[in-house]
Structures are given as structure tokens and as C-alpha cells.
Amino acid sequence: MSDASAGTGGAGFAAAELARIDEAAAALRARGLAGPKVGVVLGSGLGAFAERMKDATAVPYAEIPHFPTPRVAGHAGRLVRGTVAPGVEALVLQGRVHYYEGHTMVDVVRAVRTLRRLGVETAVVTNASGGVRPDLAPGTLMCIDDHVNLSGDDPLHGENLDALGPRFPDLSNAYDRRLRAVADEAAAAVPVRLAHGVYAMTRGPAYETPAEVRMARAVGADVVGMSTVPEVVAAAHAGLRVCAISCVTNRAAGTGGGVIEHAHVAEVAARVAEELIALLAEIVRRVAAEAS
């Protein structure tokens, strides 16, 4: 029996996890971080988005009760409240933890659930991915329309957190239809090219085999990556609307791009970061304008 499934399935798990989330939220409220209705989850190399916000207040994850800390280079690990555009505030998770680092799914989604407890209603999530569909060349930005969870795990496995959401949440609009249109409108305004497609999450940390990429294609995936799905499932469960943007950094294994190296993935992400940051700011601005 794995520790994680024993732990989440046991009686009292939900109450204990909710207490951890509420303790984290209370600590952040005390430091003045409650208020923004839009949350942003930044993937690797996008820290500049948080650094450019005005009137920013930042709290390192290490100072937030029960927040796991990222162990990957490029993920600073801070929660930042700041102003993205005049009158538009956001709560930004600068750095995320990944399942492949050895965190449990429940650990991975605690930050997103805490944002919800702090009053966030919309989450804009970013990541890096490998392009499976031939037209999704490195450097392409893609709005995620849907996902396939190939990780073999699920953040909702175990006793349900009834205070956050239902036992059997519907995921048919997990990537909110209206927000996907907002992403297109924002992309046209910036302007940047924005593709659409389906994201498949693999467990990692190894990149996929060519056979796994063919399988991902066969089950409907356009890109593959190692994050996002846990956060989106937990967000949908808790009633958060989600918009997710993937930066395609390489051709997925066996699709003609040669050897995949993390350094190259990071280099492409850095090259596209400015475009993605501009798109993110425009999406956040439009989401806030629609909500007010």
C-alpha cells in the first residue's frame, strides 16, 4: 500500500487537509494577500511576469504553512500579490511544485486550493510542453482546450474535501469555454499567434518514449507535459474557472526534433517568455474587466 493512497483514503484525511489549506490561507490573509479575484500559475522561466507587477507583496512558499517548495531551477517559489494593469490585481504563484519531484498530488494542488480559499475565482495556468501535433513547432503558444491525464494518479483520489467541491466533479468545461475565447481575443490584441489543442500529462520525469508519444497522439493529445492537470482538476473541483496556456518548447520524442534536453527546453521557454508574458497580462486584464 502506498503512503499517499493510504493517507488520502483514511478517515480524517479531508478534515486534516482542509485544516492545512485554511492555515495557509489564514497566514496569507494576515500578510495582506487576500483580495485579487484572478490567480496566475507561472511555469518555469516566466518569473518576469511577477517581477514586473507594481506594488507587489511577496511571500516565499517556505514561509507559508504547509506549502511544499519547488526543487527545480527556474522556480523561485513565492506567492506574489501585485498590480498587473491599472486597477487589475492578481495573486501569482511564481513557481510550482511538480508531481515528478516526489510530491503527492495533494501537495501539488494545495497552493491552488489555497488561492480559492483566499477568494480567487479564475486561474490562469501556464506550462511548457512537447509538441505532438506536427504544426505545433517549438515556440508556439497553445491554449489548452482539454486534457488527457496519463499520470496514473489524481489529486481527488481519497476522501473528498466536501467543503471545497463535490465527490464527482464534472470536467466537461474544466478549461472554461468563455475564457478560451478571451485568450483568443487577448492574443489578437497583443498580437501573438495562439494555437488550440489538448494537453496530455505524463508522470515524468523522463521525457516520453516515441511509442508513448504515438499513444498520446492516438488518444487525442496535441502536446505532452508533466504538470497542470493536477491543478486544473483541483481547480475545477473547487469551482475555479481555468484558462491554461502552454508554451511548446520542443517536438515530442520521435516526431522529428531529435534529442530532447532540459537546457534546450528552458532556452526556448526563455525565448518565448516575453510573448507569453504579454499574452498573460492581456488575459488577466480582460478577465478582470469581464468580472467587474
State the nearest-atom distance from the C-beta of 258 to ligand HPA, in Å: 12
Q: What is the length of the chain?
A: 292
Query: Locate cell 473541483: which residue?
Result: 237
Q: How far apart are the first and last CA of the chain?
A: 48
Q: Determine the Cα–Cα distance for residues 134 and 131; give it in Å rounded to an integer.
A: 7
Nearer to ligand HPA, 82 or 131 (CB): 131
State the nearest-atom distance from the C-beta of 129 to ligand HPA, in Å: 5
State the nearest-atom distance from the C-beta of 247 to ligand HPA, in Å: 8
Residues 53/84, Cβ–Cβ less than 8 Å:
yes
Nearer to ligand HPA, 146 or 159 (CB): 146
State the nearest-atom distance from the C-beta of 205 to ligand HPA, in Å: 9
* DSSP code at position 175: B
Nearer to ligand HPA, 248 or 280 (CB): 248
Q: Determine the Cα–Cα distance for residues 99 and 122; give it in Å rounded to an integer.
A: 23
Residues 6+ apart with CB under 8 A from 47: 74, 76, 94, 95
State the nearest-atom distance from the C-beta of 291 to ligand HPA, in Å: 31
State the nearest-atom distance from the C-beta of 188 to ligand HPA, in Å: 26
Q: Determine the Cα–Cα distance for residues 95 and 217; give it in Å rounded to an integer.
A: 29
Nearer to ligand HPA, 98 or 180 (CB): 98
Which SS3 state, helix, strand or coil, does residue 271 take?
helix
Q: Which residues here bind ligand HPA, judged by CB under 6 A?
A: 128-130, 202, 207-208, 224-226, 249-250, 252, 260, 265
What residue is closest to ligand HPA based on CB?
Answer: 130
Nearer to ligand HPA, 70 or 82 (CB): 70
Residue 191: is the preceding peptide bond cis (ω within 30°)?
Answer: yes
Nearer to ligand HPA, 65 or 254 (CB): 254
